[in-house]
Chain A
Amino acid sequence: SQQGEEDPQALSIQEGENATMNCSYKTSINNLQWYRQNSGRGLVHLILIRSNEREKHSGRLRVTLDTSKKSSSLLITASRAADTASYFCATDPGSARQLTFGSGTQLTVLP
């Protein structure tokens, strides 16, 4: 079963705009990770946020985590056409168990 569910399923924006994707999950987590997948390629790790963190930045990426609401958001600022990809959240339940991936948000950045 997939614990994380991304919202929206698809998002289309103009280059230069910000893109926000959300992830909701059901059970407690140790950490939450975001991955990007370009068409026809494997997944690439973007950022990891631990359960005791509320916000994390990496370049143009900003991730927030609200464990009380069991939700996370990924913000991409000043988007570029190269950001066009699918974005997945993955939850780590801890205790050395495996990551569970959501169904993804398909982001299209129009030039």
Chain B
Amino acid sequence: EAGVAQSPRYKIIEKRQSVAFWCNPISGHATLYWYQQILGQGPKLLIQFQNNGVVDDSQLPKDRFSAERLKGVDSTLKIQPAKLEDSAVYLCASSLRRGGETQYFGPGTRLLVL
């Protein structure tokens, strides 16, 4: 079974630029999550999708972050414009269902904003 795929693995941009991350979850997993992990901290949920609908985006900074999951499969997370404090690892995860299911994580995208 293929795991969660993410790209790119690394990205360096200057502040005020835009950036996009891509995630392809495990086949058949209805729920997809985007997390932000700042160095030395645990992952913080940004947004959760159930199929192609948003379940929870309460911690997503909507003035600069957006995400979509068209057709309920792969997903894109965008930051526009980026700030220095957005430097972090962006993790995508998926699970079969909502709730406290085991989550399967991708390798993450490491973003550095200069």
Contacts and interface: CB of A to CB of B under 8 A. Distances in A.
Contacts of B33: 98
A31 B100 contact: yes
Given A42-B105, A42-B106, A42-B107, A103 B99 contact: no
- How many chain B residues sit at the interface, stated as a range, is 20 to 34
B107 A94 contact: no
A94 B100 contact: yes
A43 interface: yes
A98 B42 contact: no
* Chain A contact residues, majority secondary structure: loop
Interface string A11-33: 00000000000000000001101
Interface string B67-106: 0000000000000000000000001010000111011111
A45 B102 contact: yes
A99 B42 contact: no
Given A2-B42, A103-B42, A41 B107 contact: yes
Interface of B: 4, 33, 40-45, 48, 56, 91, 93, 98-100, 102-108, 110
Interface residues of A, number: 27
Contacts of A102: 42
7 contacts: A30-B99, A42-B4, A43-B93, A45-B104, A92-B99, A95-B99, A98-B33
A41 B93 CA distance: 12
